Amino acid sequence: MDKLDCMRSFAAVAAQSSFTGGARQLGISTKLASKYVARLEEQLGAQLLNRTTRKVTLTDTGRAYLERCLPLLDQFDELEDVVQLRQKELAGPVRITAPTGFGSRELVEALQPFQEAHPQVEIELVLSDRHLPILEEGVDLAVRFGALKDSTLVARKLCDMRLVVVASPDYLAAHGAPSDPEALATHNCLLQMTSPQPDIWTFEEGGKKTVSVGGSFRANSPRAVAHMAAHGLGIARCPHYTARPFLADGRLQVLFEGQETGPITLYAVYPPSRHLTARIRTLIDHLASYFSPE
């Protein structure tokens, strides 16, 4: 049993105050994490963790060992990076989470050239329309829209994306085009439930203006809302990337283009650390370059 694996398991369990959480962070079973920690305690001849049915806490000896253990683990990761960078070949696992709609298409297209350039990097992509807790789920990198709410994480801006109001020519022919944002109150508006206020749409018209809207369809996927608008069900407000293919073939058109509210920002979010592995650092740089408007 490798001592480094034992040390990593101890550090993860200590960080999560849980064998289950620590095991999830490392991508191993709870039984194996417990086995690694028990082996480390046996080798050291000391108890590092207090175990109860509800929580795992550090002993005084465990706290002192952890303080010296973490720098050693960081130095080992840095040593691996030096070798990888000198060989110009990145390797190892990266666990990423992203929204389902954006992740299943745009992010996958961005990841493809990275994996072709670095085939030894093993990417696990977890798609979810809720924000997975990064540390608890053992996530290395999250791709997210909107302002960072968790001050314990680090965010790097990737790009800004327009929010557009769209409708199909067929819908507008049947129901008339709204003359101004206030007229949306009389139309069937399709609601994106991942927005903070899905039934309140904001516009720039000599300052911010809000309009209350409603309709017969709502979804937690912005791509689903764009699809329904393209089929003529109603008027949608969605990120530009979801409407782009329908705008290109004429199935959707943009309304109130000069009155769009500010864009939504796409971020790469990751846990704070004194050290990011070369593969994660390089992947973040790649995404920033790929999504850059330039």
Q: Which residue has the tokens 């129901």?
A: 175
Residue 196 confidence class, pLDDT cut points 50, 70, 90: confident
> Whole-angstrom Cα distance, residue 271 to residue 156?
11
Residues 6+ apart with CB under 8 A from 104: 127
List pLDDT tens digits, range 215-270.
Answer: 999 998 888 999 999 999 999 999 999 999 999 999 999 999 989 887 889 999 98
So what's the architecture of 89-160+265-291 in CATH? 3-Layer(aba) Sandwich (3.40)
* Per-residue confidence (pLDDT) for residue 226, from 0 to 100: 95
> Whole-angstrom Cα distance, residue 271 to residue 70?
15
Contact 234, 187 (CB under 8 A): yes
Q: How long a stretch of residues is the chain?
A: 294
> Whole-angstrom Cα distance, residue 173 to residue 176?
6
Q: Is the pLDDT of residue 93 over 80?
A: yes
Which segments of the chain belong to CATH 1.10.10.10?
3-74
Residue 99 buriedness (CB in 10 A; 0-12 / 13-18 / 19+) = buried
* Per-residue confidence (pLDDT) for residue 274, from 0 to 100: 53
So what's the architecture of 3-74 in CATH? Orthogonal Bundle (1.10)
CA distances from 17 to 59, 72, 239 (A): 12, 21, 39
> Whole-angstrom Cα distance, residue 7 to residue 13?
10
DSSP codes, 14-27: HHHTSHHHHHHHHT
List pLDDT tens digits, range 49-84.
Answer: 998 877 888 999 999 998 888 888 877 877 776 666
CATH of domain 163-262: 3.40.190.10
Which segments of the chain belong to CATH 3.40.190.10?
89-160+265-291, 163-262
| Full-model pTM | 0.68
Residue 2 in 3-state DSSP? coil
List pLDDT tens digits, range 121-148.
Answer: 999 999 887 777 776 677 889 999 887 7
